[in-house]
Structure 1
């Protein structure tokens, strides 16, 4: 089928609108990014992000006056300064946007090899641009009557995976004719993802002499009560660390799980990364550490600024001497191979790779 042409519907009257049909969309989804680091862009982005009840679930009657008043008056300045320190000025965008584009291009190349132009690959952001709505509408206009929605969060959390799916479903709710859809589950214990993590650690350690005393696996934090309310995020983070340690062949003394980005007055998942790296230096004499962020599929403000600046500073002020940040998997070939394999599994039954079909025919 030529997908750039409109396809008449069988048995439809002559005056019925023709439609593009028969393709499958693969929509990658990440957290989001402001359009710029100026005050208005940051305020618009933070308002959307911090108004999400999946992220901040306090009563709007209490939370919104605080958000619209004090927080969105002051925080756009500090957040804008942080974004400015890591901004990709050449492309006029945040690193998360740059990397997500690269991941999408790599995924598209792999899907094209296996499926030709039958699978359309694109990306959307939960907050900011490009919006989930705009990309779903584009896919449908391109003839996608089926869509696989792929949140790029290895570990499931209500504040990440669930809110991305919520937004996807909100778009569908307003469509007269919905495409058939599937959502890709979290892949925290997928052997291919763990292998990609392990190889990134091995590459980093190969260039380090002496080797780090300990590897800190820093995951984005959430309030501790989310765990008590049934969110599996904490357990999946712990499992990812354990599987990574087992793949590397290490004992438990060489790796630790921590949580970063605490916000607000209540208790979050512990230990807090910013405090733990200081404790490791002060109390355990760990002067040489490496930090990796397994919950982030792409480097962003939380890794490039928070880990590599704020958390690094905490470690050094406590007596730490050598701090190594191991970048996220980003568009690394092993990572993209893993994500592509997961995507193909979720496409199964709708379409099969051409190579597999050819081999079966032989």
Structure 2
């Protein structure tokens, strides 16, 4: 069981990073696509990528780098974006240039603007010339540590926010009656995001699903529980996206994360005290689903189409389908390794439940005390 848990958590270790996403705005101006990226200057340097133990840098750090350090950051930023981002017009890769205007100034704005403890954010401007009569503009994103690229595509009054998971290709704009316009996200885009939020990013949800498997390793009760869980978290996710529930504050988000950790600990410990699935467990799964939905909402509320309420139902449906597929994938892995143990499964149940319960308790302590005990949780 320990090996299986480590196997499932391995992608999370490999995808460790200081940041979860990079925001970029794409504006189409005639025959030019202009992308303005808000980047953490420290993350652009290879030595600070892929290490969760590395403390985030601040503006003080950026100010201390001086012209020589800024030149290094500028070159590293160009390399990062060339390696990670490809823009394609009708399937053909575009050449583009990158510029960081503020790093060229004798006295960059960040030397006097902003609080010292703020993150060292800088603007990188990417420009690409579009071929005449182009019908479709795509972006391919591949970031080695799983950072999500959140693209806001603007054209006049139209705007679409399109999160792109690492390794994914997405159409950003298509030609309408006259020129290129932002493309709304499809249900398929949301399914990919939902799946990605479970595998490899959702360590909380992986542990929770494993806890359910350990008590009742049979498909019918497990599907029943995961469906209840998905319906429950879709309710709170929808309420948050409509503004009926607000978890945007740091304090609210922190307590939601603590309760999610407590739900993992509860499931693991309860597995040691009960012999079979009962109605009480089903009710708890629904309750915990509501809490986990608030956790999803704190991350995804900014991605949901608030300006296009007609797209909300499709977004929630697709995202939750992706989550359900991710959960079933975790269960398939568990069945492949332990479904045939039969009489010896009691040892898997006890060992696995102790590990799940212990992981949940460690997460509670980490989030309650704001300390880090295990970096991969």
- Given the two structures, how large is their TM-score scaled by the length of structure 2? 0.29
